[in-house]
Each structure stands twice: as structure tokens, then as C-alpha cells.
Amino acid sequence: MAKAPARKTAAPKKTASTPAPTSNRETPRDPAPYEATPEELETFYREMLLIRRFEEKAGQLYGLGLIGGFCHLYIGQEAVAVGLQSALDGDKDSVITGYRDHGHMLAYGIDPKVIMAELTGRAAGISRGKGGSMHMFSVEHKFYGGHGIVGAQVALGTGLAFAHKYRGDGGVAMAYFGDGAANQGQVYESFNMAELWKLPIIFVIENNQYAMGTSVNRSSAEDQLYRRGESFRIPGMQIDGMDVLAVRGAAEAALEWVRAGKGPILLELKTYRYRGHSMSDPAKYRSREEVQAVRDKSDAIEGLKKLMLDAGIGEEKIKEIDKEIRQVVNEAADFAESAPEPELSDLYTDVLVEQY
């Protein structure tokens, strides 16, 4: 029987939880939505809005020819990076992701100017203009990239977790990957070793429903991706990735499990990207109506705005934040447009660390 076409509504209505245990093996507790203070709601909003406005601006700059190559925007998925990373301990935990990496860096508090300047290929960029959109790193923030080969970050992230355990530093690695990468072989090689050695890692599948233009249903025999760890005894949770509080709540449950030394855990965040896979996406594989329906019904930022109003944060305050964020993004864009390109001599630097 043929597989059903891609679902029209992207995100499940409520926070799904762990499947019924198939054995008497211990499972993580059911995640509960995070109970945020009004201040925290405001912080989440700021961060999510920054990502959205930043990405919209990046899209514009791409259209103007100021950004080249591949540029993968995070619009629609903001609640995932913000909800998860807000739960991490910035001093000891590490993060790694694929090439759709701008949002994760912004959620980590990295200066939007140096990110945007990297997108425009300037010397002031975080990788000195030599990495570009897909290759950005901040060792200072324990953000390890920014990797262009689909799935590679999963094995690399497992190595970060190995290093945490080896040193006994109490840190946890978080490795993000997409529904597309979830079909790469090395993901399962990594699952096997991570569970075998009880490595402190949270595997995060950002299921935005499409691997480029191929829907999950057209590419995945098991389309419930949170189950993909089962044969390695890695517990999985499926979470509404359009709800920042659900995401944060799941992160807390996952961290509890991993920090207790129980080994890896797999989170599937059901989310949706509004824009194309990259800037050169023909948008032939899904309808305009499908995208619009998600925007109307499940948008993470609109959802959060409602919660803020309920919590007594007034329209005025929200407008004020919106204005501030626009200002930050405009400044980042101005900086990125006016900053000088790298010196030609930089072509030959950083190939090797040492002189031989």
C-alpha cells in the first residue's frame, strides 16, 4: 500500500510523549511543558524573533547578491533551537548541528553581526569569511559547527560526548540533525556506540517534514523518527517543535536522563520550515496552502505572543521588543555589508596550525 502523502498540518496538537514501554527497561519520565516566568517568556520571544528577523534579512541580502552559495534559513523552526538551548549549561555543554545553523548560533547568544558578516564573506565574520553560511563555529561558546555533510555532525557530536565522558566534566553534547540525515548510515553507527558506552548526548531530530523536497513519508520506512533509536535501546520522545515551552520541557526531561549517566536519548521535534530548503528551492514539492496553513495555525512566535498576553505582558511591550530586534538586525546587516573582505593573504592562512 502506498504511503500517505505528507501531512497537511505539520505539528501535532499537543505534546506527545514516550511510547508505552515494551519491556521493564527504565524509560525517561514524560516531559511536561515548561512553566516559564513572564521574564523567561520575554527572553524566548526575543530570541525567536531575532532568529526570524535575522533570517528574513539574510534572505533579502541573498536576493541582493550580498550572500552567495548555499543559504539555508531557519524560519519556522525557531522554537526548537531556543527551547532546547535555553536548558543547556553554557559553561559545560556542547552543541553541534548541520548546515542550517544560523538559528542555533543566535540562540546561543553569539553576536548577530559576526554571523551576518560571515554570510556576506567578510573578514569580521565569525570564521573570518572562510566558512560561510554552513561553516560557522564558536569554540568559546562550545558551538562546534556548522557542518555541510548531512549526518556527519551526528558522529562528530558523539565524539564531543565521548570527550565529556572521558574528561568527566559533567557536560552533555547536543547533536542536531534533520529528518533527512536520520536516514544516513553513520547516524546508526553513532547510536550504537553512544548507547554501548553510555555517552552523554542528546540526539535531536529537527523533523521539518522535508529533506530538501522529499517528504518524510516518501523517504522513511519508519516515519515516526523518535523510534529510530529503539533497536539501540535509546529512548525517544516526540515533541511539538512549534511550542517553545513543550520543547524546553522535553529538554529538561532529556537532560535529567543524560546527566544521570543513563546514556543517550533521542528527541524528535516536529517542526516546519516556511522557506525553501535553500535559497534556490523551486517549491514544487508542496503547496502554498500547506505552508500557509502551518503559518496560520501553528506558528511558534504567534503562539508565544498569545502566552505573553495571557501572562500580562502588554501589546506595547511586545511592539517595543519588535522594534528593538529590527534595530539589532538592521545594524547587523549594515555591519555585514560595510565590513571589508578578507585580505588576499588570508587565502593561505589556517590551512595547518603548525609550521613544518
Partner 1 sequence: MAIELKMPALSPTMEEGTLAKWLVKEGDEVKSGDILAEIETDKATMEYEAVDEGTVAQILIAEGTDNVKVGTVIALIAGEGEEAAPATGPAPAPAPAEQAPTAAEAKSESAEAPKKAESGTDQLAVKAKAQVADPDIPAGTAMVKLTVREALRDAMAEEMRADDRIFVMGEEVAEYQGAYKVTQGLLDEFGARRVVDTPITEYGFAGLGTGAAMGGLRPIIEFMTFNFAMQAIDHIINSAAKTNYMSGGQMRCPIVFRGPNGAASRVGAQHSQNYAPWYASVPGLIVIAPYDAADAKGLLKAAIRSEDPVVFLENELLYGRSFEVPDVEDYVLPIGKARIMREGNDVTIVSYSIGVGLALEAAEALAGEGIDAEVIDLRTLRPLDTATVLASLKKTNRMVVVEEGWPTCSIASELAMVAMEQGFDDLDAPVMRVTDEDVPLPYAANLEKAALVDTPRVIAAVKAACNRG
Q: Which residues bind partner 1 (CB under 8 A)?
A: 94, 96, 125-131, 135-139, 144-149, 152, 154-160, 162-164, 166-167, 173, 185-186, 189-190, 192-193, 196, 349-354, 356
Q: What grid cell was written down for 45?
A: 520571544
For residue 288, the minimal CB distance to partner 1 (Å) is 36
d(CA 59, CA 19): 39
Is the CB of 65 or the CB of 168 nearer to partner 1? Answer: 168
Which of 326, 242, 283, 277 lies closest to 134 in space, CA to CA? Answer: 277
Query: Residue 150 burial by CB count (10 A; 0-12/13-18/19+): exposed, middle or buried?
Result: buried
For residue 201, the minimal CB distance to partner 1 (Å) is 10
Is the CB of 96 or the CB of 237 nearer to partner 1? Answer: 96
Is the CB of 135 or the CB of 233 nearer to partner 1? Answer: 135
For residue 186, the minimal CB distance to partner 1 (Å) is 5
For residue 278, the minimal CB distance to partner 1 (Å) is 18
For residue 132, the minimal CB distance to partner 1 (Å) is 8
d(CA 276, CA 262): 38
Is the CB of 127 or the CB of 208 nearer to partner 1? Answer: 127
For residue 114, the minimal CB distance to partner 1 (Å) is 10
d(CA 145, CA 49): 22
**How many CB atoms are closer than 10 A to CB 8?**
12
Contacts of 271 (CB under 8 A, 6+ apart): 10, 11, 76, 77, 79, 80, 206, 207, 208, 209, 241, 242
Q: Which amino acid is at 98?
A: G
Is the CB of 79 or the CB of 126 nearer to partner 1? Answer: 126
Is the CB of 163 or the CB of 291 nearer to partner 1? Answer: 163
